[in-house]
Amino acid sequence: MPALRIQVVSVPVADQDRAKAFYLDKLGFEEVSDAPYGEGMRWVEVRPPGSPTSFTLVTWFPSMPAGSLQGVVLDTPDVQQAYRELMSRGLHFSHEPRQEFWGTFTTFSDPDGNGFVLAQAAPRDDT
């Protein structure tokens, strides 16, 4: 099996400027690229700091209407701390972090309705 990894996730948005501001200002992502991409289009790419995987904020896929991406999991070592920090930046969550057998999580959406899970895995018992 060849070595595979996820490099870019396409996030369908209606307005790249609004989406870019959300990902940079609310989530604290960093800008990777904002450049022309074909006639009348832009390649807007952002990523969580230090992440090898980035998101490109796309407007050009007819089969991916704005808000149609759901269930992307953003992993964090401390979901409670991340929850508090992101709330202080004005991010609105669907609910407070909940603990399940697999870990602790909460959910939120970007301005277009793309849905994300903020999660912290439960400690593993490798004994």
Q: Return the structure tokens found at 14.
A: 């209606």
Sequence spans of domains, the chain: 8-59+68-121
Q: Residue 91 has what pLDDT?
A: 97
pLDDT digits (tens, 9 = 90+) for 41-79: 999 999 999 999 999 999 999 999 999 999 999 999 999
Q: Phi and psi of 117, rounded to 5°?
A: -115, 130
Q: Residue 89 has what pLDDT?
A: 96
| Domain boundaries 8-59+68-121, corresponding CATH code | 3.10.180.10
Tell me the pLDDT of the chain averaged across its residues.
96
Q: Residue 123 has what pLDDT?
A: 85
Q: Residue 32 has what pLDDT?
A: 98
- 45, with CB counted inside 10 A (0-12, 13-18, 19+), is buried
Strands (E) in the chain, as ranges, are 8-12, 30-36, 42-47, 54-58, 72-75, 98-100, 103-109, 115-121
